[in-house]
Structure 1
Amino acid sequence: MKERRVLSLSYGKIIVKPEEKLVGLVPESFETYQVAKPGDIIVRCTDLQNDKTSLRTGLVEDFGIITSAYLNLASNKGFSGRYLHYFLHSLDTTKVLYQLGTGLRQNLSYQDFKRFPVVSPPFAEQVIIAGFLDRKTIQIDKAISVKEQQITLLKERKQILIQNAVTRGLNSNAPMRDSGVEWIGEIPIHWSIKRAKYLFQEVDERSPHGQEELLSVSHMTGVTPRSEKSVSMFMAEDYTGSKTCQSGDLVFNIMWAWMGALGVSDRSGIVSSSYGIFRQLKTQMFNSQYLEMLLKTIGYIEHYNKVSTGLHSSRLRFYSHMFMAMEIGYPDLEEQNTIVEHINLESGRLDKAVEILSQQITKLKEYKATLINSAVTGKVKVPGVVEPGDEVARPDMQELPAL
């Protein structure tokens, strides 16, 4: 119980957990944790049938402790730990590990793992291959990191585009006025400000049979069919009596409104009875896309957080009367339509750029996995490795003792 540095396996890397995160879902004591030393290889060998996209192996760089649920491997004398790490990584990315699990939950024990054959070239070659892969993977990871940063900047640019357009309009020269409302701020002088109760009515219509399409509301996707969500949430046996919504209705997930979990539905369906459903008092008052984007802007979400009630940040509730008392700043429908058209055009270009970068990242990751697999299994010749038949040993082979 002397070691306080807690390690964690995250997407193929062993990281040191920050002390501020050692709360919540962690054990009261780390007494059962195992010691991990630099050079050890960690394998997450539980639930092999699930979570097949994340990486399950990692090389330890820092001395620390890690959960005993993981398999901790140390390389025997005469074997390079870095080479074996890359070899196991290739088994992971090619899904070989998933075939080794046993039992109901497809777990992998060392008793099963130790029988697995390992490609083991001479130690000198292992060192050269590992060094080659170290250099190449660093280059690939840097290229991926640059593209991920570009994606982050593009997404931020899109958010700024939406934020400015729906709260200030498209005309940068339009006269502005102070709304006098904290979460609205300055708006064009010709825009309206009204409380939600003068714009919407709360509806509480119930399904007599529960056979309508089941919808859910999240901060990421708004109102979407539950069938399109890749979640394993509890499903009720009978949805009779659930709230129904119509196309164009504004739906709030009361429990997660503080995160922006709301949306305007584009279809009829049923939702949780705990959701809030609001319908425009007059038709054609709001463009559905404009309304959803406006109510998801930073100022409005900060307002939901401020007025919501609850004992904990993750238990806040934004009730219907809170929405009805809230002021909303908006232009007329014609200007809303123009704003939405502009946003769709510009954000479409940004989304296309993000898609291209994402494809490039996918290809780089595929290339990295292929390179590692080919190098550790001898499918490609690694510079510096002397193969039978080579007439002269390469200079770097002579430098092996220094490595």
Structure 2
Amino acid sequence: MTGTALSGNKYSEYPEYKESGVEWLGNIPTTWIKAKFTHYVKIRHGYQFREHDFVDDGAKIVKITQLHPSGFLDLNNCSFVLESRVENFQNILIKEKDILMCLTGGTIGKIIRVTKVDEPLLQNYRVGHFSSANDIIIDDFVFYLMSSSVVYDQINFLVRETGQPNIGMEDFGDMSICIPSPDEQHKIADFLDHETAKIDTLIAKQEKLIDLLKEKRQAVISHAVTRGLSSNTPMKDSGIEWLGEAPEHWVVSHMDYVLNAIGDVDHYMPKSADTGIPYVMTGDLTEFASSINFEDCKQVCRKDYLKLSKKIKSSQGDVIMARYATIGTASYIDVDREFLVSYSCVTIKPNPSKCLGLYLFYYFKSHAFTQGIRSQVNSNTQDNVGVNDLKKVKVVLPPLTEQLNIIEYLQSIICKLDSLSKNAQLAINLMKERKTALISAAVTGKIDVRNWLKH
């Protein structure tokens, strides 16, 4: 009755149910009432401030992207309007315990309960305020109601696809909800506060584990490609400030010395084609090209592909590296297929007599390379690094046989670390499913928590 995420649960049901007449609500407890959403929930809309409203300092405007799921308000990169405007917009001031929802874009349906706010803040038009409209429903119950899959599924059903996905205030009017007595609402809210906090704590621990595994992964790679695998290897000063010592038999050189070619395509954005050659952009990159979803990439016609790939053509064994914004993001090409790399990336072709492509890929993930590339970044406008700058970056390389040994070692260790991370992420996903199922079951009366006691 409460879904697979709560199967075998310890919660009892209400003694009697009645038909709600609404498919997504199903049966509800006989003492609960079915109602239209806006009869009991008050909705306020944000204001669409224009360019001429903004000033250098004043009252802050907070966008939905600045609201952290924990309720924290990220006050960095705020826009401002005159303090005098605050008096005219009292209805859209953000206050403690406010319930906010994104009404448009990719995060539509994102729900936030503000837990702390140090000063009055103005929100923009993409955010909706939700609160109790009368004494029959309490704000804490409204928050959990808005967080339930019942409401979220209805929101998805009501989303308009006119340009950017959005949902209007009036669309909430006919949404059906079920409401228990205020005393039961308090009990349900207390129960969910307690139980979801426990789940959130477990999720936070798994997220911390994933972060630690990422740090371990980075450290293992950095150590292997700059110090080698043996602790007994004689060391020497590499002559690279940010690297320090390196094995004395390793070669220190500029990137250009170990490459056959490095380059990017013409800085020209080709038109999209219904079918054709995949045009891979920075956001499409994965660690290994075999994991890139080429079908979802922009497609370009063969004529544009041939024209743009004249300077350099990516092929198996090469490394792709982003050179704008997310500088250093690398992808090793482990597939033999045609695709075009955007001019926001460079294609790097290693000299196989000096450096293996896969080793170079791992080197790009090291702290040594990250620091080396930073010294070449042009930050005048958008962070970027040119092809000639990349050639000047210093690298430290072992002999080819040692590169192979390091690659095999890293693949083994990384596989184990990634497996642990994957299991942690699966656990997080299951806990999030359980949290949503628990909230939905409680606010629709599928479980009875009236006798619940905090332990």
Same fold (TM over 0.5): yes
The answer for the alignment partner of 1:401 in structure 2 is none
Does structure 1 residue 35 correspond to structure 2 residue 93?
Answer: yes
Aligned residue among 118, 123, 133 for 2:182: 123
Does structure 1 residue 308 correspond to structure 2 residue 308?
Answer: no
The answer for the alignment partner of 2:11 in structure 1 is none
The answer for the alignment partner of 1:368 in structure 2 is 435
Q: Distance in 2 between matches of 1:364 and 1:318?
A: 42
Aligned 8 A contact 2:184 2:450 in 1: no
Aligned 8 A contact 2:281 2:345 in 1: no
Q: Distance in 2 between matches of 1:178 and 1:203?
A: 28
Alignment gaps of 5+ in structure 2: 1-56
Aligned 8 A contact 1:205 1:245 in 2: no
Deviations 1:79-127 (A, max 9, x none): 2110111011104675221112346245322322133222111111011
Secondary structure of the equivalent of 2:224? helix
The answer for the alignment partner of 1:221 in structure 2 is 286
Q: Distance in 1 between matches of 2:405 and 2:193?
A: 52
Alignment gaps of 5+ in structure 1: 386-394, 397-403
Aligned residue among 359, 379, 392 for 1:325: 392
* Paired AA for residue 77 in structure 2: K
Aligned CA-pair RMSD: 3.5
Aligned 8 A contact 1:216 1:225 in 2: no
Shift of 1:195: 2.7
Does structure 1 residue 83 correspond to structure 2 residue 151?
Answer: no
Does structure 1 residue 96 correspond to structure 2 residue 154?
Answer: yes
Shift of 1:227: 6.1
Does structure 1 residue 289 correspond to structure 2 residue 358?
Answer: yes
The answer for the alignment partner of 1:271 in structure 2 is 341
1:46-61 superposed matches below 5 A: 46-47=104-105, 50-51=106-107, 56-61=110-115
Deviations 1:114-166 (A, max 9, x none): 33222111111011111110011111101111111111111111111111011
* Paired AA for residue 156 in structure 1: E
Cα pair distance change 1:110/1:170, threshold 3 Å:
same
Secondary structure of the equivalent of 2:112? strand
Cα pair distance change 1:2/1:222, threshold 3 Å:
closer
The answer for the alignment partner of 2:406 in structure 1 is 339
Aligned 8 A contact 2:131 2:142 in 1: no
Give % identity. Answer: 24
1:149-188 superposed matches below 5 A: 149-188=208-247
Cα pair distance change 1:249/1:28, threshold 3 Å:
farther
Aligned 8 A contact 1:206 1:242 in 2: yes
The answer for the alignment partner of 1:349 in structure 2 is 416
Cα pair distance change 1:41/1:206, threshold 3 Å:
closer
Q: Distance in 1 between matches of 2:72 and 2:416?
A: 36
Secondary structure of the equivalent of 1:112? helix
Structure 1, 247-256 or 300-309: larger mean CA deviation: 247-256
Deviations 1:314-360 (A, max 9, x none): x2332222233333211111111111111111121111111111111
Cα pair distance change 1:340/1:227, threshold 3 Å:
closer
Shift of 1:200: 1.8
Cα pair distance change 1:273/1:125, threshold 3 Å:
closer
Secondary structure of the equivalent of 1:79? coil
* Paired AA for residue 113 in structure 2: L
The answer for the alignment partner of 1:391 in structure 2 is none
* Paired AA for residue 410 in structure 2: I
The answer for the alignment partner of 1:261 in structure 2 is 329
Does structure 1 residue 191 correspond to structure 2 residue 250?
Answer: yes
Secondary structure of the equivalent of 1:201? strand
Aligned 8 A contact 1:252 1:276 in 2: yes
Structure 1, 75-84 or 8-17: larger mean CA deviation: 8-17
Secondary structure of the equivalent of 1:164? helix
The higher-RCO structure (CA 8 Å, 6+ apart) is 2
Structure 1, 120-129 or 323-332: larger mean CA deviation: 323-332
* Paired AA for residue 182 in structure 1: E
Q: Distance in 1 between matches of 2:72 and 2:150?
A: 19
Secondary structure of the equivalent of 2:323? coil
Cα pair distance change 1:230/1:369, threshold 3 Å:
farther
Does structure 1 residue 21 correspond to structure 2 residue 66?
Answer: no
Count residues in correspondence.
373
Aligned residue among 138, 141, 145 for 2:204: 145
Secondary structure of the equivalent of 2:307? coil
Aligned 8 A contact 1:90 1:373 in 2: yes
* Paired AA for residue 436 in structure 2: A
Aligned 8 A contact 1:217 1:263 in 2: no
Deviations 1:17-46 (A, max 9, x none): 23x432xxx466685872133343222222
Cα pair distance change 1:264/1:358, threshold 3 Å:
closer
Aligned 8 A contact 1:218 1:260 in 2: no
Secondary structure of the equivalent of 1:38? coil
Normalized against structure 1, the TM-score is what? 0.80
Q: Distance in 2 between matches of 1:29 and 1:219?
A: 41
The answer for the alignment partner of 1:135 in structure 2 is 194
Deviations 1:226-276 (A, max 9, x none): 96179887x6563341121222234443335x7213444334543235644
